[in-house]
Amino acid sequence: MKYRQIRSLLQAASSLLDERDGIDRQLAHILDQIAETVQRIDGMSKGSANVIQFPVNGQSHAIVSKGKPEFGSNHRALE
């Protein structure tokens, strides 16, 4: 439930931005990516295995979950 609320708030914030403004457009894209990640986390919290990949400082990182998500850096398998 909390993840759906977070995702909904991110989508609402994204819709407030002006698509004609370059900075707003970039921020909306980032908010959309975060909303997608929150949706994946919601799926992981329900017990399905999942992999989340995301860039940090130009490097690709991944979180692999086989149950309740925990967060770490780089390619860590989480039980």
Domain, as residue range, for 55: 2-78
Each residue's pLDDT tens digit, 16-50? 999 899 999 999 999 988 988 888 788 777 765 56
CA distances from 75 to 55, 56, 60, 63, 65 (A): 12, 12, 9, 6, 11
Segment 53-66 mean pLDDT: 69
Report the pLDDT value the prediction gives residue 24, as an integer from 0 to 100.
Answer: 93
Cα distance between residue 60 and residue 62, in whole Å = 7
Q: What is the largest distance, in Å, between two alpha-carbon atoms of the chain? A: 44
Q: What is the pTM of this model?
A: 0.56
Q: State residue 76's pLDDT score.
A: 46
Number of domains the chain is built from: 1
* Band (57; pLDDT cuts 50, 70, 90): confident
pLDDT score, position 1: 73
Output the 3-class SS for 24-41.
Answer: HHHHHHHHHHHHHHHHHH
